[in-house]
Each structure stands twice: as C-alpha cells, then as structure tokens.
Amino acid sequence: MKCPYCGHKEDKVVDSRSTQEESAIRRRRECLKCGKRFTTYEYIEEMSFMVVKKDNRRQAFDRKKILAGIIRACEKRPVSIEKMEEIVTQVERAIQKKYDREVPSAKVGELVMEKLKSLDDVAYVRFASVYRQFKDVGQFMVELKGMLNTERRKNR
C-alpha cells in the first residue's frame, strides 16, 4: 500500500475491523517511513452495475462519485466520513438487492436523498437542490415547506 502522504510503499496495519454491515474491512495503517496514519477499505469485488442516465447513456457505477456528492452536501455539517461511507454502502446494497445489471440514475439519487434526509436536513436539501436541478427559489421553497410540514407532524 502506497502512503498517501510520502509515497513510501511499506506500512504496518495498526487496526483492522469489519464495517457495521460487514461488507468491507477497515484497516488503519501507519507508514513505516513518515509515521503518518491512514485508513484503507477492502471490499469484495462484485458484479459491476451500469447506471442508466436520463439520456440513456450508460456509465459504470462508481462508489467514489456518489461519496464525492455526499461529501459536498455534508460540507461543514456534523457528519462523519464514516457515516457518509455507510450511506454509500447502504445505497450500493439496496441496488444490488433490487437490480440485476442496470439501475436508473434517478433511483440512485433517490436512495441517496432518502439516506441523507434521515441523517442531516441541510445535507439533504443541498443534495436535492443539485440532484433535482431546482430552477428557481420557488422550487427550493416547495421542498423546504414539505420538510417543515413533516417535522411539525413528527413533533406533535
């Protein structure tokens, strides 16, 4: 494993454990040259999915792309990277259970929004505004009013 800080190719594993869903192994490593620690994840290589875009183009399912979108939505929010990675794993598992080889991009986005909504309202609205391509403030306000109404019902 190459150190992300100094590029040295030797390290030692300091800690190793399964993720919550036992779908991956999380390893804390320490570079033998610079001494810095970093985390790696080991996943079972599974059949790749194709994501069918709105214009019918197909693109390989990419965990990193989903995680990048979630990280952007959660920027400056009290959400740990572990929680964000957990969302990606949950989305990936849901897709594997329901779809064979291809999944519509709309379903991927809806799954991410569903998970973010239960985790952090601000991150959810940020993701939804990009995903749903709000054209104006009116569309944004409709989404916020829906959230506020749901919150009021919960608090009664």
* Sequence spans of domains, the chain: 1-45, 48-154
Given a contact cutoff of 8 angstroms between Cβ atoms, the answer to whether 105 and 112 are in contact is: no
**76-98 pLDDT, tens digit each:** 999 999 999 999 999 998 998 99
Alpha helices in 74-120 (DSSP H): 81-98, 105-119
**Residues near 135 by beta carbon (within 8 Å), at least 6 away in sequence:** none
**16-64 pLDDT, tens digit each:** 998 777 778 999 999 999 999 999 988 776 667 899 998 999 999 999 9
